[in-house]
Structure 1
Amino acid sequence: MEGLRPIRVSKKDSEDGQPLSPMARICHQPYSDVYIIIIMGFNSPISPLVFKASLRHSLLKHPRFSSLQVVESGGEMRWVKIEVNLDNHVRVPVLDPNMESPDKFVEDYASNLSKTTISKSIPLWDVHLLNVKTSEAESTVIFRIHHSLGDGISLMSLLLSCSRKASDPEALPNIPTIKRRNPSYPGRLTSWQFLLKLWWLVLLCWNTIVDVLILLGTIFFLEDTKTPLKGTLPLGLAQRRFVHRTISLDDVKLVKNAMGTTINDVMVAITQAGLSSYLNRKYGDEKTYNKGAEENNNNLPNNIRLRAALVVNIRPSAGIQISSFRNRITLWFSNVPGPEEEISYFGHPVAFIALSFYGQPNALVIHVVSYANKMKITLSVDENIISDPHQLCDDLQNSLDLMKNAVITNQRTDPK
C-alpha cells in the first residue's frame, strides 16, 4: 500500500491486532487517501487542559484512535495498539485575539490543513484548538481524521457520544431517527390495489436495471459534461477550501411539509437549483466575455450531464470500484443528521457543527449537517476549479429563500 512501509511485528501483536477492513485499505489507495474534517464552533473559549484530559478518557478509549496501521512482512495490514502521546495530536497555536479578520484566518487554517497529511508513525488523527472569536463562535475546534478510521456517520456518532445536552449535562443528545413509510393494505387486496402493486414492482425492476447499467457505464466510460464545476482528472492532491453557510431548519421543514417530501429531498432540490444558478452565471459571463452578448435568462448549454454521488448510511460492497466511480462524476453530496437540541462538548457549549473531507479527486463536495434548529451546508472545493465558493453558498441560500417564499405565497393565495 502506498505510504505505508512494511514492518515486522511480534507474533503477539499479529494475533491481537485486527486486520483492516477492505474499505479501510481502499482509503490508502491513490486518489482515495481521504481525511475527514469536522469543524465545531463553541460559545466559549476552549480550555486546552480540559480538552486534552477529556480526550484521554473518551476518544482514546476507541481502539482505532490509539492504534497504528501497519503492514506486516506478508503484506497484510493490521491495527497495532500503542501508547498515545496527546502532544502529537493536539495543536494549540498561539493566536492574536485582535487579528484583523478571524473568520478568514479560521477558513485559511482549515484550508492549509488540506495541503498536509498525518505521519503514519502515529494514529491518523489530530485536533486543532483555535481560541479566536469569529462571527459565529467564541472559539473553533478542527478535528482531522483519516477516513480509514471510520466514515462520516460512525465518526459523528463517536464524537457525539462524548457530548451532552446543554440543558442536561448528564444526558446524551438525541439524534433524529429515519421514519420509513411502509404502506400496508388491510385484509385482501382489491383488484386496483393488486394492479397498483404490480405496476410498482414493474417500475422498481425497470429502474433497478437502468440504474445498474448507468453505474456500469460510469465505472467504465460514462463521463460527466465538462463544466466550471468539474476538473480534469487526475486532479491530484490540490489544496481545498472549506466554506460553510448556516440555513434555517424551520425553512427547510416548511418546504418539506408543503411538498409532502423529506428533508433530504429538499436539500437535494436546493443543491440542484443552486448549482443551476451558479453555472448559469458562469456560462453567462463566458458569453459576455467571448462574444459581447447581452445577459440571458438561460445561458446553460443543452444536455448537460452532471451527476452526484449521494452518500447514504450503508456499507458498500468491497467489489465496487470506488476510485473509478469517483474519477467520472462531478460532485459528492452527503446529508448527516446531527443532534436535535443544543449540546456541550467536554463542558464547552457548541455553536455549530460543519463536516467535510479532502483527498478525493473531485472539485466539489457538499455536506449538510443538522444541529438543533439549524442546518450547516459545507463546501469542500478545489480552488483551482472553483475560485468563488462563497458565491456558490449564496446561490444555495437563495434557492432555499425562493422555495420558501413560493410556499408562503401559495399558502396566502390558496382558498383553503
Structure 2
Amino acid sequence: MSLKPLGIISKNLDEGEEAMILSPSSRMFHEPNYNVYVLAIMGWKVPINVDSIKTELQSKMLKHPRFSSLQTMYLKHVANDSNNFKTGMDESDGGGNMRWIPTTVNIDDHVIVPQLADNNMDKDELVEDYISNLSTTDVDMSKPLWDFHILNVKTSHAEATSVFRIHHSIGDGVALMSFLLSCFRTTSDPTCLPKLPVFSSSKTKNRKKNLWHQYYLVKLWFFIQLLFNTIVDVLLFIATALFLKDSQTPFTTTQGFNASARQRYIYRTVSLDDIKFIKDVTNAKVNDVVLGITQAALSRYIHRRYGKGKLCLEGMRCRANVIVNLRPALGVQAIAEMIEKNVAVIQGNCFGFVLIPLSIGQSENPLDYVYEAKTSMDRKKHSLESQCTFYASQLFLNLFGFKGAAKLTQRVTSQTTLALSNVIGPREEISCAGHPLEFVAPTCSGYPTGIMVHVCSYANKLTFTIAVDEGVIPDLKQLGDDFIQSFMLIKEAAAHHTKLATKLD
C-alpha cells in the first residue's frame, strides 16, 4: 500500500522558506510496493517508565526537523488569472514534489502503549504477533512519519520491548542508528554518549625507494582487477534487473509477490566474542563470519525440511542482495551537538547494492561456510559495484522518475534469494532515561523480498533479525533456531581447529 499525501500546497515557496524538498531517494520510498519502514526492536532490562521515555523523546527527537515535519505534496500550478489557480498534478510529468513542512508535534500521538490481551498465549508470541501486525499498517500522514510502541511484557529476551517505527524516507539505517544512539548514554557513565567503533583504512607510506617500480606495478594490477570486476558485477546487476532470477527455493518469492503482505519477525542473539574467535581462526572479517553463518543456516533449513535428494542443489543459483552504506558516519557526538543546534543531521538515503553468491549445500566441515563467504567477500572488495548501483538508481530517477527507480530496486531484490544488512552498534552497554538496553534488533517492513536478514552488534552481543513474508517461511522459529545451531557448529569446528593446530605445534 502506498502512502497518500496529506494535503496539497498550491502556493509558491521561496528559497528562504523552511520547507525542503524530499531527496529523490527518499521520495522513492513513497512509491507503490516500495513503502518501506525501518523497525528498531529494542529489548530492555527493566520495565519501561512511559512518562520518562516520553520526556526523553520530547527533549531529543523533536529537535530534529525530520522528526517534527510533515511530508506534504507541493504542486506546480498554472495561473488562469490573477485570482484563480489550478491545483492538479499529472504524475507522469513529475509535476509534484514532496516537501518537509515543519509542524507542532504532540508526543502522545507518537508514543503508543497498547493494552495487550491477557490470555494464555506465550509472551514471546504475543510480542512477535504485535510487531508482525505493524507491517500491515502505516503511520498517518497527518503527522511526522514515526511512532514508538512500548510493550511492557516480560519475554524470554527482555523485561520489556519497544519498537521504534520510522518511514525509510526519513533516512537510511546507518544515519538512523547514529541518531537513535544520540538519545542514549553509557550505563557506566550517564553523562557520556555512546561511541561507535571506528575502523582505520590508512596504510603505511614507508616504502623502500628501490621498490617503487614493484609498488606501481602492483597498483596497476589492482586497478586492472578492479576495473574488470566492476564491469562483470555491473553486467550481472543489469542482467538481474532484466531477466536473471535465482533458482526456486523455499526462500524465493513467488510470482505476484505482494510487498505489502504481512511479515513476521524473529531475532536470535549470539556472543560477539565467539564471532570474533571464529574470525581469528579463519583469518576472516566479522562480515565474513556473519555471511558464513547465514549460508549454513539456510543450508540446514533446506536439508532438514526437504531431506537429501528431494531438492537438487547442484548448479542452484542463490544470491544475497547486500545493502551497503555509502555515506561516512558523522559520529554520535557530532550528531548530538547538531541536534542541540537544531540542525538537520539526517540527509536522506545513500546506499548501494552488492550481489553475493550464496553456497547452499551440506558441508562436512562447518568452517567451509565461512571460508566460502570470505572468498566471495574478498572478491567484492575489489569492485565498485555498490557505488555503480547507487549511481544507476540516480540515473533511473532522472530518466524514468520515482516509479522507474523504485521498479528497478524492486526488480533486483525480488530476483535474488535474500537481502542482507549489517549495522554496527556501540561496544559498551547503554541506557535511555535510566532504562538499560538489553539488545537492539533493527529490521524493515515493506521491503520487496521474501526474506531479509539484519545483523546488529551491541556491547558483547550480535543479534540476527530475520524478516519473512508470511507465505514464504511457514516455520520461522525453526529457521531462527537453525541460525543458532549453525553458529554453534561453526564455533565448535573453530575450537577443534585451534586444538588441532596447538597439538601440531
SS of the counterpart of 2:66?
helix
**Structure 2 counterpart of 1:70:** 72
Report matched runs for 1:43-62 at 5 Å. 43-62=45-64
CA deviation after TM superposition for structure 1 residue 163, in Å = 0.2
Instruction: Give the alignment of 1:11-410 within 5 angstroms.
Output: 11=12, 15-74=17-76, 75-95=96-116, 100-180=121-201, 182=203, 186-188=207-209, 189=211, 193=215, 195-236=217-258, 237-284=260-307, 287=310, 299-314=311-326, 315=350, 316-317=390-391, 318-319=394-395, 321-410=408-497
Question: Using the alignment, how far apart are the partners of 1:56 and 1:190 within structure 2?
Answer: 58
> Is residue 7 of structure 1 aligned with residue 19 of structure 2?
no
Q: Counterparts of 1:272 and 1:243 in 2: how far apart (Å)? A: 17
Please give the alpha-carbon distance, in whole angstroms, between the structure 2 residues aligned to 1:348 and 1:336.
Answer: 22
Q: Secondary structure at the match of 1:69?
A: strand
Aligned length: 405
Segments of 5+ residues of structure 1 without an aligned counterpart are: 288-298
- Is this contact kept in 2: 1:127–1:144, CA < 8 A? yes
**Equivalent-residue separation in structure 2 for 1:23 and 1:403 (angstroms):** 39
Post-superposition offset of 1:282: 3.2
Amino acid at match of 1:220: L
Letter paired with 2:103: I
Equivalent-residue separation in structure 1 for 2:276 and 2:200 (angstroms): 15
Q: Which amino acid aligns with 1:46?
A: I
1:23: Cα distance to partner?
0.8
After superposition, give the CA deviation of every residue in 1:203-228 in whole Å (9 maximum; x if it has no partner): 22221111011011111121111111
- 2:484 pairs with 1:412: no
1:309 alignment partner AA:
N
1:57-79 superposed Cα distances (whole Å, 9 cap, x missing partner): 11111111111111112212100
CA distance in 2, matches of 1:190, 1:392: 53
Q: Which moved more, 1:320-329 or 1:57-66?
A: 320-329
CA distances 1:146-204 after superposition (whole Å, capped 9, x unpaired): 10011111111111000000111000112112233636560332665555444333322
Aligned counterparts of 1:110 and 1:46: Cα–Cα separation in 2 = 17
Aligned residue number for residue 290 of structure 1: none
Contact 1:165 1:171 in 2 (8 A): yes
Q: In 2, are the aligned partners of 1:166 and 1:349 still within 8 Å (CA)? A: yes
Q: Is the 8 A contact 1:97 1:132 kept in 2?
A: no
- Conserved? CA contact 2:414–2:450, under 8 Å: no
How far 1:324 moved relative to its partner?
2.5
- Superposition RMSD in Å: 2.1
> What percent identity do the matched residue pairs reach?
44
Q: Give the deviation of 1:358 after TM superposition.
A: 0.8
1:122-147 CA-partner distances (Å, limit 9, x unpaired): 11111111111111211111111110
**AA of the residue aligned to 2:292:** A
Q: Taking structure 1 as reference, are residues 2 and 245 closer, same or farther at Cα in structure 2, changes over 3 Å only?
A: closer
Asked if the contact 1:230–1:330 (Cα under 8 Å) also holds between the matched residues in 2, the reply is yes
Query: 1:269 is matched by which residue type in structure 2?
Result: G
Contact 1:110 1:142 in 2 (8 A): yes
Partner amino acid, structure 2, of 1:303: G
Q: Could you tell me whether the CA contact under 8 Å between 1:233 and 1:361 is conserved in 2? A: no
Distance 1:249 1:366 in 2: 17
Q: TM-score scaled by structure 2? A: 0.76
Q: How far apart are 1:280 and its partner, in Å?
A: 2.5
Give the 3-state SS of the residue equivalent to 1:319 in structure 2: helix
- For 1:217, the aligned partner's letter is A
Please report how far the alpha carbon of residue 399 of structure 1 lies from its aligned counterpart in structure 2 after TM superposition: 2.0
For the 8 Å contact 1:164–1:344, the answer to whether it is kept is yes
Rounded to whole Å, the distance in 1 between the matches of 2:166 and 2:303 is 36
Write the letter of the residue equivalent to 1:34.
V
Structure 1 CA distance, aligned partners of 2:205 and 2:45? 47
Change (3 A) 1:25 1:110: same
CA distance in 2: counterparts of 1:77 and 1:370, whole angstroms: 35
Instruction: Work out whether residues 6 and 73 of structure 1, in 8 Å CA contact, stay in contact via their aligned partners in 2.
Output: no
Larger displacement relative to structure 2 (66-75 or 372-381): 66-75
Name the SS for the 2:248 alignment partner.
coil
Structure 1 contact 129–141 (Cα < 8 Å) conserved: yes
Q: Within 1, Cα distance between the matches of 2:55 and 2:129? A: 28
> C-alpha distance in 2, partners of 1:8/1:193?
60
Letter in structure 2 aligned against 1:28: H
Q: Distance in 2 between matches of 1:199 and 1:344?
A: 49
| Distance in 2 (alpha carbons) for counterparts of 1:183 and 1:200 | 17
Q: Distance in 2 between matches of 1:133 and 1:327?
A: 36
CA distance, structure 1, for counterparts of residue 103 and residue 256 of structure 2 = 36
Question: For residues 179 and 263 of structure 1, do their structure 2 counterparts lie closer, same or farther at Cα, with a shift above 3 Å needed?
Answer: farther
What does the per-residue CA deviation read over 1:84-137, in whole Å, with 9 as the maximum and x for residues that have no partner? 112221111234678652111111110011111111111111111111111121
- The residue type equivalent to 2:161 in the other structure is T
- Secondary structure of the 2:21 match is coil
Query: 2:457 is paired with a residue of what secondary structure?
Result: strand
Structure 2 CA distance for aligned equivalents of residues 347 and 286 of structure 1: 55
